[in-house]
Amino acid sequence: MWADFIGNAVAVERLRGLAARGGGGRTLVLAGPEGVGKTTLAAMYGLALNCQAPPAPGEFCGACVGCQAALPQAELAGAIEAAIEHRAAEVKGNAREAAPLRVALHPAVLLYPPDGDYLTMAQARAVIHQTQLQPDAGRTWTLILPDLDLARWTTQSALLKTLEEPPPRVALVALARNPLGLLPTVRSRALVLALPPTPAAELAAGLRRLRPALSAQEAELLARLAAGCPGRALRLDLAAYRHLRADALGLLAEGRAGGPAASVFRLSESTRGSKEKFESLVEILYSVLQDIVYLHSGLPETVRNVDVLAELQQQARSWTAPGLAAAVTGLDELQAAARRNAFRPLGLASWALSLGARA
């Protein structure tokens, strides 16, 4: 139901109104940061266009045969992985060309996730072909193109005519983090709906509505850590985050205090053999350093890691502005070295041990 979506009430109302008027023959662009809910909203729009028993114009019931055929949002990532694995097992030769990646969120709602780093030319041809097919009576094809702003301009150009003038029973929904990455002719012909981050208080209230077991403090922390993006908040494992953040705070404290190298290496060794854990730890280090910058600037209300505010305030007293800038630069260099397959635990420990020498 539309009411289940957290935030961006203006965009939701616009989509409900478009669905009430049929929605076909138009290209939409939903623009906003990762996790703000672009894919979820596009899928809801598709359901509203295809619901067999809408309780009101532009609504979807969630109970009719059509709505019940929808793929639960929580299963989307698994469905994409399964489609890739099935194709690898069944398709010979150039699989991306022979079987362009596509996932059915509903019999009439089709998602074309980036096949690799971006939408491919083969997927663009598949989208064009799909628009030329007649949907079942009463249905409207809803074709969702995630991260279209990252696609090569040759691919966007191939889609241009279709994006400019979709057939009457086709609704095209392009998703973009940066709408300026889309061809100007696409932007000028599409209805662009901006989805900014949701205010922390609104996001926290929405999280508690969807997950009543969350305490008010947990919901506020999730809202702040997710930077206003409901998808990030719903995916975040708070216990795992806190455990990894303890390592991050330990690295900062030991490094700034010139603590024993053995302690620093013990903390950095936790990332051995896990690229994902290393990347998560570095992301948390950026977040903590940013919070320290906020404290230095006299803006404690903008701190994201609010549950460890006292510890952050204590650490902030040992930092200078040049030292913080140097620490962030060092993290940038660490990430670049990791991409070149440098030994991650050693690089992390070296970075932490260098913090004590910085002003």
Region of poorest pLDDT, from 40-44, 174-178, 297-301, 355-359: 355-359
Average pLDDT of the segment spanning 141-164? 93
Whether the CB-CB separation of 182 and 173 falls below 8 Å is answered with no
Consecutive H or E run containing 103 = strand 103-106
Helix or strand holding residue 104 (H, E) = strand 103-106
Tell me what the mean pLDDT of segment 26-43 comes to: 94
User: How many angstroms separate the Cα of 42 from the Cα of each of 45, 223, 226, 270?
Assistant: 5, 22, 21, 39
User: Would you mind telling me the total number of residues written for the chain in this entry?
Assistant: 359
Q: What is the Cα–Cα distance from 337 to 323, expressed in whole angstroms? A: 21
Longest CA span, the chain:
72
Q: Average pLDDT for residues 176-187, to the nearest whole number?
A: 91
* Residues forming beta bridges with residue 102, ordered by sequence position: none
Average pLDDT, the chain: 89
pLDDT at residue 12, rounded to an integer? 95
pLDDT score for 160: 92
> Stretch 81-101: mean pLDDT, rounded?
85
Average pLDDT over residues 86-112: 88
Q: What is the DSSP letter of 340?
A: T
Which range is least confidently modeled, 117-126, 200-209, 266-275?
A: 266-275
Alpha carbons within 13 angstroms on the beta-carbon side of residue 75 total 10
pLDDT at 36: 94
Here the tokens at position 194 are 């901006």
d(CA 305, CA 222): 9
Percent of the chain with pLDDT over 90: 56
The packing angle between helices 38-50 and 9-20, to 10°, is: 20
- Dihedral angle computed from the Cα positions of residues 126, 27, 147 and 20, in that order, rounded to the nearest 10 degrees: -110
Residue 273 pLDDT exceeds 80: no
Angle between helices 261-268 and 344-354 (to 10 degrees): 140
Q: What pLDDT, on the 0 to 100 scale, is given for residue 358? A: 57
Q: Rounded to the nearest 5 degrees, what angle is found at the Cα of 189, between the Cα atoms of 185 and 191?
A: 130
Helices 216-225 and 200-210, packing angle to 10 deg: 120
- Tell me, what's the pLDDT at 116? 86
- CA 201 to chain CA centroid, nearest Å: 20
Q: Give me the sign of the Cα torsion angle 274, 343, 349, 294.
A: negative
pLDDT band at 357 (very low <50, low <70, confident <90, very high): low
Report DSSP letters for 291-309, one per residue.
HHHHHHTT-GGG-S-GGGH
pLDDT in tens, 278-337: 889 889 999 999 999 999 889 999 999 999 999 999 988 888 888 899 999 988 998 888
Distance CA 256, CA 359 (A): 10
Residue 191: CB atoms within 10 A of its CB come to 12
pLDDT at 359: 47
Distance CA 111, CA 143 (A): 6
Rounded CA gap, 36 and 182, in Å? 19
Q: What is the pLDDT of residues 193-250, one digit of tens each?
A: 999 999 999 999 999 998 999 999 999 999 999 999 999 999 999 999 999 999 899 8
Q: Is 105's pLDDT higher than 60?
A: yes
Token reading at 345: 């635990």
Rounded CA separation 79/228 (Å): 26
Helix (H, G, I), strand (E, B) or coil at 171: strand
Of the pLDDT bands very low, low, confident and very high (cuts 50, 70, 90), residue 251 is confident
Residue 346, pLDDT score: 85
Distance, CA of 207 to CA of 203 (rounded, Å)? 6
Q: What is the mean pLDDT of residues 25-54?
A: 93
Residue 252 has pLDDT above 70, yes or no: yes
